[in-house]
Structure 1
Amino acid sequence: MGGGGNIPKITTESSLHNSHLEIGLIKMDIEGAEIKALLGAKETIYLHRPILIIAIYHNAEQFFDTKELIDSWDLGYSFFIAKLSVFHPTDEVMLFCLPKID
């Protein structure tokens, strides 16, 4: 176990660049890096307008800024917040972003 080494980082765009996949859902719970991931997936989100399910409970900035960021892209999303854990008041708060159907 261990051994070190580097793990390459890739963006959503670079991993999907030549694929012909239709992206219908993106779910993120990546320990506070969700805003960075959204910025890295911006082109994919613009192109496909998928449903987004994003954890927003890791810090206050994330809780308040995630919706604001997505809303600033003016893609016509509706937003809902759901708390998935009834036992821990600050855990598992998720932002659901649903694209409005034209």
Structure 2
Amino acid sequence: MFGCDVISPEELRTRYRDCICVIGSSKYRQDILQQLLHEGFPNKNILYPYIGILFGIVGWQYFDYLTPEDNEIFIDGGVYDGGSSDDFIKWTKGKYKAIYGFEANPYCIERCKEYYNKNGIHDVEFVEKCMWNERAKMVFASTHSGASRISDEGNVVVEADTIDNVLSGRRATFIKMDIEGAEYRALLGAERTIKKYRPRMALSVYHKPQDIIEIPALLLKYDDSYKFALRQYSSTADETILYVF
């Protein structure tokens, strides 16, 4: 994958002991350091960020595992800055039928609309709501970052709705969700759409530890023919994507 070899700690110690070993994990950096020292790798050759985080990304998140089909209809859950909608268009080479963009963060809504207009993104229905399992008003932590989310400690009240309600029976072929822990609830609100059209999906499963188990289990209840693949897009604990096909 991506031309990277996976080697054992023993091979690292014996063949590469004169090289610099960079620990790129923030969550497990202490554990990795102790293992390397236990294996006898020279301490002076270990680059170990203590305060800062050494961060790396790889791959085309949401779009490097599946192949586009004709007339894709995309649901962009968590538009943020419009980048994922733009990536979708590149993925389909501009041959798509429609985009439904969900974004509830007031700081992002106007920026997203401007991005769509500036880049000539067409056939878009912009939904100024957060994805949920019912129509409701939700307390929302609104910030300038991509980590804005539904939260009891939020600073604004926004509208929430379900995919099923917004589509009202219309078709979807590809669903992307990166909505800061609301993914499971949003999938509950997409039951009719999923059962009727069997869309493929790219879902974030790193916001809550139970999601990596509970989300596939839910989708198999909707359609037991679904298959799954996991990919990790950062060197930290973030950006774990579940592909559903």
CA contact (8 A) 2:229 2:244 kept: yes
2:168 aligned residue: 17
1:95 aligned residue: 242
Over the residues paired in the alignment, what is the CA RMSD in angstroms? 2.2
Taking structure 1 as the reference length, the TM-score comes to 0.80
Matches within 5 A, 1:1-102: 6-17=157-168, 21-85=170-234, 87-88=235-236, 90-98=237-245
Shift of 1:63: 1.8
Residue ranges of structure 2 left out of the alignment (5+ in a row): 1-105, 108-154
CA contact (8 A) 1:84 1:93 kept: yes
Percent identity between matched residues is 32
Number of residues paired by the alignment?
93
CA contact (8 A) 1:49 1:75 kept: no
Taking structure 2 as the reference length, the TM-score comes to 0.35
Question: Deviations along 1:5-31, whole A, 9 cap, x unmatched?
Answer: 74322211111116xx43110000111
Q: Report the secondary structure of 1:13's partner residue.
A: helix
Residue ranges of structure 1 left out of the alignment (5+ in a row): none
Structure 2 CA distance for aligned equivalents of residues 65 and 24 of structure 1: 22
Structure 2 CA distance for aligned equivalents of residues 5 and 93 of structure 1: 28
Q: Radius of gyration: which is bigger?
A: 2
Q: Report the secondary structure of 1:9's partner residue.
A: strand
Query: What amino acid does structure 2 have at the position aligned with 1:92?
Result: E
CA contact (8 A) 2:198 2:223 kept: no
